[in-house]
Amino acid sequence: MQNTNYAKYIAIMQKIADVQNASSLLNWDQETYMPPKGAAFRAQQLSTLAGIAHELATSTELGVLLTELSKDDSLAEKEKRNIKKSLKNYNDNKKYTTEFVQDLSKTISEAFQAWQKAKETNDFSLYAPKLEKLVELKRKECELLGYTGHPYDAMLDQYEPGAKTVDLEKLFADVRSQLVAFVKQIAAKPQNNDAFMFGFYDKDKQWDVGIDLLKQMGYDFDAGRQDISSHPFTTNFSCQDVRVTTRINQNDLNEMIWSCIHEGGHALYEQGLLPSEYGLPSGEYISLGIHESQSRLWENNVGRSLNYWKANFKTLQKAFPENLEKISVEDFYKAMNIVKPSLIRTSADELTYHFHVLIRFEIEKALIEGKIQVNELPAYWNSKYKEYLGIDVPSDKQGVLQDIHWSHGSFGYFPTYSLGSFYAAQFFAQAKKEIPNLENQLEQGNMLNLLSWLREKVHKHGKYYTAEELCVEITGEKLNFNYFMEYAKVKYKWLYQL
**Which phi and psi (to 5°) does residue 241 adopt?**
-150, 85
Residue 184: count of CB within 10 angstroms of its CB:
9
Helix/strand/coil for 244: strand
Helix axes 253-271, 203-217, angle to 10 degrees: 30
Is the Cβ–Cβ distance between 228 and 248 less than 8 Å?
yes
Helix/strand/coil for 250: coil
Within the chain, what is the greatest distance between any pair of CA atoms?
69
**What radius of gyration, in Å, describes the C-alpha atoms of the chain?**
23
Position 413, amino acid: Y
465: buried, middle or exposed (CB in 10 Å: 19+, 13-18, 0-12)? Answer: middle
Q: From the centroid of its chain, how far is CA 176?
A: 22
Of 263, 270, 299, 350, which residue is the catalytic one?
263
Q: Which of 59, 88, 71, 57 is nearest to 3 (CA)?
A: 71
For residue 195, the number of C-alpha atoms closer than 13 Å in the C-beta half-sphere is 2
* Separation between Cα atoms, residue 85 and residue 87, nearest integer Å: 5
* Separation between Cα atoms, residue 68 and residue 46, nearest integer Å: 32
User: Alpha helices of 414-466 — where are they, by DSSP H?
Assistant: 415-434, 438-443, 448-457
Catalytic, 350? Answer no
Q: Which residues are catalytic?
A: 263
